[in-house]
Amino acid sequence: MKIPDFQRAKREGKKIVVVTGYDALFARIIEQAGIEVILVGDSLGVVVQGKHDTLTVTMEDMLYHTRMVAGAAERALVVADMPFLSYQVSNEEAVRNAGRLIQAGAAAVKLEGGANVVERVQAMTSFGIPVMGHVGMTPQSVRSYGGYKVQGKGAEQANRLVEDAKALQEAGAFAVVLEAMPSELAARITHELAIPTIGIGAGASCDGQVLVLYDLLGLFDAFVPKFVKPYAHLKTDALRALKQYKEEVEQGRFPTDQESYH
């Protein structure tokens, strides 16, 4: 998967499948599953670092995880999230930080926002850094929302999100994530844009979908939004395995001769 393939996928009506990944081990499993786009999401602040939100994730964190994922991915396109405060302050900081993520192995970066980040997106794309947009419920703005709430309800908010998505396209974004918004609105944005939309909690009309890896594997259950479908229950599996290991060690049933050297 390369950046121009996103446009082609939309034109040909081929759904774009994206999943988040944070380390080399899962990057390889994701690739073996045939998934072609891996997002190193700043959701790692929640699912890997155990924080309540993504606001404390640093550039160093993103660089570390991007290096691991990009180092392992052989075919998949790696997109790295720009963390909070890495692009808000100025175009200069945004370009420098985006460039560092590219140097770490990402093929593209993603940032949150609409009209307010247009200048940033223009600056980055003018230097050949591909940018994915992200509108709707943008987690780095959780403080102003007062919680993770569906966005784009009501005509005024909806129109603003349509304008935001269009502004990102005009600024040169190659795709845009639509998060937690009414399906009807996501369908309208998808129809009005030439670049593909990647939905999460935005219904079936989007040109592609993205999910957080640990949500879809059923590993992360501290908070499960309505839009998550657990395709596996790995936490249940992990718990069962760990409990059995503990029991067998305590009872002297592990290791057996089978796991021993002579």
Query: Active-site positions?
Result: 179
Residues 131-190 that bind ligand KIV (CB under 6 A): 177, 179
> Which residues ranging from 189 to 228 are in contact with ligand KIV (CB under 6 A)?
200, 210, 212
Binding site annotation covers 42? yes
Q: How far apart are CA 93 and CA 68, in angstroms?
A: 24
At closest approach, how far in Å is the CB of 41 from ligand KIV? Answer: 2
Q: Is 79 helix (H, G, I), strand (E, B) or coil?
A: strand
Span interacting with ligand KIV, options 40-48, 101-109, 160-168, 220-228, rule CB under 6 A: 40-48
In the complex with Na ion, which residue's Cβ is closer, 41 or 172? 41
Q: Is 78 exposed, middle or buried (0-12, 13-18, 19+ CB in 10 A)?
A: buried
Tell me how far apart the alpha carbons of residues 55 and 43 are, in angstroms, rounded to a whole number. Answer: 10
Q: Least Å distance between CB 59 and ligand KIV?
A: 15
Contact, 176 vs 134, CB < 8 A? yes
Residues 66-85 that bind ligand KIV (CB under 6 A): 81
Q: How far is the CB of 166 from Na ion (least distance, A)?
A: 21
User: Is 97 among the residues that bind ligand KIV (CB under 6 A)?
Assistant: no
Contact predicate 177/198, CB 8 Å:
yes
Least distance from C-beta 139 to ligand KIV, angstroms?
Answer: 7
Out of 1, 6, 16, 20, point to the residue binding ligand KIV (CB under 6 A): 20
Cβ 45 to ligand KIV, closest distance in Å? Answer: 8
Q: Which does 9 bind (CB under 5 to 8 A by kind): Na ion, ligand KIV, none?
A: none
Burial 113-144 (b: 16+ CB within 10 A, else e): bbeebbebbebbbeeebbbbbbbbbbbbebee
**Residue 63 within binding range of ligand KIV, rule CB under 6 A:** no
CA distance 178 to 27: 23
> Which amino acid type is present at position 195?
I
Give yes or no for a contact between 68 and 27, defined as CB atoms under 8 angstroms apart.
Answer: yes
Q: Residues binding ligand KIV: what is the number (CB under 6 A)? A: 11
First to last CA, the chain: 49
- Residue 103 CA to residue 64 CA, distance in Å, equals 12
* Binding-site partner at residue 212 among Na ion, ligand KIV, none, CB < 5 to 8 Å by type: ligand KIV
Q: Which residues define the annotated binding site for Mg(2+)?
A: 42, 81, 112
Which residues of this chain interact with ligand KIV, rule CB under 6 A?
A: 20, 39, 41-43, 81, 177, 179, 200, 210, 212
Q: Which residues define the annotated binding site?
A: 42-43, 81, 110, 112
